[in-house]
Amino acid sequence: MSDVAVVGFAQAPNVRRTEGTTNGVEMLVPIFAEVFKQTGLSKKEIGFWCSGSSDYLAGRAFSFISAVDAIGAFPPIHESHVEMDAAWALYEGWLKIRMGEVDTALVYGFGKSSAGQLRRVLALQLDPYTVAPLWPDSISIAALQARLGLDAGLWSEKDLAEVAARNRGEDVAGLLDAPYLADPLRAHDVAPITDGAAVIVLASAERARDLVERPALISGIEHRVDTPVLGARDLTRAPSAEAAAQAIGVDGVEVAELHAPFTHQELILRSAFTLGEQVRVNPSGGALAGNPMFAAGLARIGEAAKEIFAGRANRVLAHATSGPVLQQNLVAVMEGLD
């Protein structure tokens, strides 16, 4: 089977609110053009298209069909969609190339989180019989997870502030004086509501060498799922992230882009992947600097690949999550293809 590499990445500006529609077209058109410029490809040379978004978030049925307007009506395309973060759309594109069906794929994700009540919308992913009817919001559930870790002595509020300071480019001093948003989480512990989009171009290893100077070869990719029953798992760990990492091997990575929408979740993931102090974690700022729903996980893969494109690293780790409190986790390792 063909090896697969990331050859292009672009993302829309991460902003609190956009005036565009919920189908993402206005955000997607410019970044499609950017990756075509990076790779020299045209629309007709893309063998497979796959997107990640949410009809719940967009407030319309089949919102991903409307997003195809950003691609254009001609030439006809081979297209698919996942109702979750576009990192899982990338997995589908990776499979298409591995199976030899195509030698290029374009993957994109978009979300307009400002369009509705995000914290309420995310309650719809919870157990529909025993949990969702209570309408617990995403921040409160994460706060319960953070409290469990604090009470177990796994981290302190200062540890959380240090994560926030590094990702947001702020000083730790003063962060601990901020009021609680959902005890024990403060505003800096929580990823901002963000409108945004991201796009990645994949190619077979043979084709990749002709498209960019230093492709980011996907040497391993795996995703695993934990039970959605919150009381049935240890929320201070991410077993599915650990299992995915063990399946592909993450030793020797120099950079790790972790999709951690809350500060304590970065600490959980660092432990799951046994990342030492020598690993640069989230040089992009991670989800705490901008968390466009259904694109943030894909952006972590793109940001990690950029470290290889620029020659700043030879082996990197990228992580994406979906579902409540790190329920589903995808892990990818990439290496420079010289």
Sorted by where each begins, the domain ranges of the chain are 1-338
Pick from 285, 334, 287: nearest CA to 313:
334
Q: Residues near 278 by Cβ (< 8 Å), separated by ≥ 6?
A: 254
Q: Pick one of 3.40.50.720, 3.40.50.1100, 3.40.47.10, 3.40.50.300 as the CATH number of 1-338.
A: 3.40.47.10
pLDDT at 292: 94
- 231 CB neighbour count, 10 Å cutoff: 9
pLDDT tens-digit map of 127-155: 999 999 999 999 999 999 999 999 999 99
pLDDT tens-digit map of 12-60: 999 998 887 777 889 999 999 999 999 999 999 999 999 999 887 777 7
8 Å CB contact between 253 and 317: yes
Confidence of residue 171 (pLDDT cuts 50, 70, 90): confident
Pick from 186, 317, 178, 299: nearest CA to 241:
317
Whole-prediction pTM value? Answer: 0.95
Instruction: Kindly provide the b/e burial profile for residues 176-192, where b requires at least 16 CB atoms within 10 angstroms of the residue's own CB.
Output: eeeeeebebbbebbbbb
List of long-range contacts for 66-75, beta carbons under 8 Å, 24+ apart: 66/21, 66/23, 66/25, 67/23, 67/24, 67/25, 67/28, 67/108, 67/110, 69/23, 69/25, 70/24, 70/25, 70/28, 70/29, 70/32, 71/32, 71/43, 72/43, 75/43, 75/44
pLDDT over 80 (residue 333):
yes
pLDDT tens-digit map of 270-282: 999 999 999 999 9
d(CA 324, CA 318) in angstroms, rounded, equals 19
pLDDT at 315: 98
Confidence of residue 338 (pLDDT cuts 50, 70, 90): confident
pLDDT over 80 (residue 63):
no
